[in-house]
Chain A
């Protein structure tokens, strides 16, 4: 398995809703990442998990809450989002520290719309 799987592919939520994005990989990668991408912009790093521990938080608002329950799974919990949070949310993983470095493997993303 050489994929990163993100669910759901599309999500529409209200500003008072609570929802979660899920990311899964079975490549044995021990580093996982959340990126946010607005239209026609590059991906912007949000969080980095290394060996299931949060190692980088790029000053992301607390309405975004990451969780790494195990080495294969990464969640992003969403609560009280704003319309400007609408974006493509990308998950990625890498073999950081284990074997040759071959770049990141990205999932296809979750297209989030906040109404």
Chain B
């Protein structure tokens, strides 16, 4: 299975701090994606990093990919209350498989 495994499962930080989530996967990939899900809602695509890329930025998001270690990290800088959500990494072959997710809670 290519299912990603996020770490930590849950994370609580103060508003303004940076949040880092990690994802490990098992097999070779074409790309890795990160999604956000607010409670009970649909998923929102955040960022995609291709297997030949090592780092990508989008606003306050920074994603890294280490294919030799089969791992990725998502960094959210200067966190805000609105960042409270679950974050999933997803690997893609002919279909997207989601990891177990990290529940991020931003404390005021």
Contacts and interface: CB of A to CB of B under 8 A. Distances in A.
Interface of A: 4, 6, 33, 40-45, 48, 56, 88, 90, 92, 101-109, 111
B33 A109 contact: no
A45 B96 contact: yes
30 contacts: A6-B42, A33-B96, A40-B103, A41-B100, A42-B99, A42-B100, A42-B101, A43-B43, A43-B88, A44-B98, A45-B95, A45-B96, A45-B97, A48-B95, A56-B94, A90-B43, A92-B43, A101-B31, A102-B45, A103-B35, A103-B45, A104-B35, A104-B43, A104-B96, A106-B42, A106-B43, A106-B44, A107-B42, A109-B40, A109-B41
A42 to B, nearest CB: 4
A108 B41 CA distance: 5
Main secondary structure of the interface of A (DSSP, over half): strand
Interface residues of B, number: 21
Contact of A42 (B31, B42, B98): B98
B48 interface: yes
Given A42-B88, A56-B94, A105 B45 contact: yes
Q: Which of B33, B42, B43 has the most CB of A within 10 A?
A: B42
Contacts of A105: 45
Contacts of B3: 42
A43 B95 contact: no
Contacts of A45: 95-97
